[in-house]
Amino acid sequence: MPENQEHPTPDEAALVRESRAGSAASFDRLVHELHPRVFGFLLTLTRNRQDAEDLTQDTFVRAWRKLNHFDPSRPLLPWLLTIARRQSISMLRKKRPLPALEIDTVIPAPEPSIAPDLWRTAEKHLTRDAFSALWLHYREDLPLAEVSRILGKREGAVKVLVHRARKTLAEAIRKDSSGPPPLPNTPPPLPSIWNNAHVPS
């Protein structure tokens, strides 16, 4: 899982400065580094690889055009994901019901923090906003404040959303026989992130 950052790395900050000065080569490097994560998020929203790829391309085009409005003291990914989500909204409204999400196409194996089986359970039992909140917070390791900006919700509402999603998943894992199997030779406790769920203060 990516390191939780409130500020860009020195390399990213330099590439953003160069891009803002008009360097297409520097922006291409940012695209190369962040494309998989933007695409992965859009794939969880659209459930369609072609739609996700088209929206990813559109996201980076819009980001390039609006880069002078971006605060370079902040990490770039949350800003890109905010653009991506806004771009996906009209498409999502036209594509109900959505097909099932193929988690294996989004998460490289092995996933270091939350196993793909858990994401499958999350996709099955959670609303889209709840799934997105968990994805952004745990998969992308973004602070709740950044998640709230991306989802266009108050931070307190996102805290409650994550709290309720964790409780829902805890119950689903207990009841759903298709939930993640226990590790060999160990009892089947819930994964640690779902234990003792509480609303952060």
Do 117 and 48 fall into the same domain?
A: no
Q: Give the pLDDT confidence score for residue 94 in this predicted structure.
A: 67
Q: Tens digits of per-residue pLDDT, 142-194?
A: 999 999 999 999 999 999 999 999 999 888 888 765 445 544 444 444 444 44
Q: How confident is the model at residue 100, as a pLDDT?
A: 54
CA angle 50, 56, 57 (to 5 degrees): 95
Mean pLDDT over all residues of the chain?
79
| CATH number of the domain residue 155 falls in | 1.10.10.10
Q: Which phi and psi (to 5°) does residue 8 adopt? A: -70, 155
Residue type, 94: K
Helix axes 116-125, 155-175, angle to 10 degrees: 110
154 lies in a domain? Answer: yes
Is residue 124 over pLDDT 50? Answer: yes
Regarding predicted confidence, which is higher, 79 or 111?
79
Task: State yes or no: pLDDT of 18 exceeds 80.
Answer: yes
Give the chain's domain count.
2
Task: Examine the pLDDT at 131 and tell me if it is beyond 60.
Answer: yes
Give mean pLDDT, residues 63-86. 94
Q: Are 6 and 78 in contact (CB under 8 A)?
A: no
- pLDDT-derived band at 70 (thresholds 50, 70, 90) equals very high
Q: In the 3-class helix/strand/coil scheme, how is 28-46 assigned residue by residue?
A: HHHHHHHHHHHHHHHHHHH
Confidence of residue 120 (pLDDT cuts 50, 70, 90): confident
Tokens coding 188: 């089947």
Domain boundary among 67, 99, 131: 99
Could you give the CA distance from residue 56 to residue 51 in angstroms, rounded to a whole number? 8
How far lies 90's CA from each of 44, 95, 96, 195, in Å?
15, 9, 11, 36
Q: Are residues 79 and 109 in the same domain?
A: no
Per-residue pLDDT at 147? 94
Q: How far is CA 104 from CA 72, 77, 122, 188, in A?
A: 33, 22, 14, 23
Mean pLDDT of the 45-74 span = 92
Last residue of a domain, one of 43, 75, 99: 99
Beta strands in 116-193 (DSSP E): none
Residue 186 inside a domain? The answer is no
Question: Does pLDDT of 114 surpass 60?
Answer: no
**Contact by Cβ (8 Å): 45, 85:** yes
In this structure, are 5 and 64 located in the same domain?
A: yes
Q: Which domain holds residue 164?
A: 101-181+191-201
Q: Compute the average pLDDT of residues 98-119.
A: 54
Final residue belonging to a domain, choices 82, 99, 116: 99
Q: How far apart are the first and last CA of the chain?
A: 24
pLDDT class for 89, splitting at 50, 70, 90? confident
